[in-house]
Amino acid sequence: MARVVLGVAGGIAAYKAAELLRLFTEAGHRVTVVPTAAALRFVGAATWEALSGHPVASDVWSQAHEVPHVRIGQQADLVVVAPATADLLARAAVGIADDLLTNTLLTARCPVLYAPAMHTEMWEHPATVANVATLRARGAVVLEPATGRLTGPDTGKGRLPDPAQIAAVATRLLPGGAAGDAQPAAGVDLAGRRVVVTAGGTREPLDPVRFLGNRSSGRQGYAFAQTAIARGAAVTLIAANVDLPAPVGAELVPVETTDELYRATLAAAAGADAVVMAAAPADFRPEAYASEKIKKDDGPPSLRLVPTVDVAAALGAARAAGELPAGQVLVVFAAETVTGPEAIENARAKLTRKGAHLVVLNQVGPDPASGRLRGFGQETNAATVLGADGATTVFPERSKEALADAVWDLVKPLLPPDPVAPPGGAVAAEPSG
């Protein structure tokens, strides 16, 4: 049983924190709710006490003999602030301690997770952007807010992520990590880093209803995004035709074709410390597009294919040309139907050809022994990771999330010493002493 502090700031989304509290308590955790005075104007103390089974206070004077402004943070295994308003993020970034929650944040030495909720203009304001960068640089996990209906008629980015998704990220930050993982969570060792992950399979249209595609489900790419978020990174997830819930905290960029994937990835990579190319881009596209549906009565069409842009190779070349950050780490995938030395040779050649640091070799297609489809669409994966330094690491079959964590472990020592500045020249603040 973990000791979780649920901080609730004063926003209309405070009512959703009640569902998050229920999820924590049903998972067996001991939850102490610390609302701000403003939060209690939205949801009263009686609600928090009934759901948590513990008394609730928002100021440092209640139960003063127990020194709650120090003890609550000291004893916590995890602090989650949901919703985290622009005001709360600002006070936390500066280090103001004017109520019980901000005191708790200063004394906590455990992982801290912020789930922001505010209007779009507030989230995009330079002050909030700087405050979020500061908190992330210190090791906090700050999720990206969701996009949707806000207060009143407004719609945009700033909506509190779904409580179940917040709980899933929080679970990974607790001692022991996600349920079912053999190894403990890696912590927030990617805090202050920006990463780009591609996922899914591109589609190259033949006519308005038909396309050339592949079997990629996007599960492995989404696992890379989810684990990077839980480890503290700011994640841009470029998803090609993926039918999965977007990972909470990721900036999602949907694409369809390989050319769209290329343009989106190149733009996002400009401010990234690492790029993981887990998507399966089409290698070819139809030379001609039929503007009307091809009729069966017209007979089989004559289909001529032309190569698509090699996205990973283009990224490697851009980095070599100085168009992308020099220290940026590039991870590519090699999906092979052949096995043994031939597969290793193919993957090693791809590593060199793409100018990558790591190549993740995984077997796809029917398993000759069981007939079960490997890789694409499955919950598990096995891989051999080859490094540009000649290293080879074999990962037996495991969950795709566990494999992603293992690859991030290999990426981390390759990252540049200092985080890459995001586009626009803003530099994340250094961790405070």
Active site residues: 214
Alpha-helical regions (H) of 60-210: 68-75, 86-94, 100-107, 120-124, 126-137, 163-173
Q: Yes or no: say if 16 and 160 are a contact pair by the CB < 8 Å rule.
A: yes
**CA–CA separation, 374 and 363 (whole Å):** 7
* Secondary structure class of 408 (helix, strand, coil): helix
* Secondary structure class of 39 (helix, strand, coil): helix
Rg over alpha carbons for the chain, rounded to the nearest Å, is 23
**CA–CA separation, 377 and 215 (whole Å):** 7
Element (H, E) at 350: helix 340-354
**CA–CA separation, 182 and 173 (whole Å):** 14
Helix-helix angle 219-230:163-173, to 10 degrees: 70
Number of separate helices (H) and strands (E) present in the chain: 13, 21
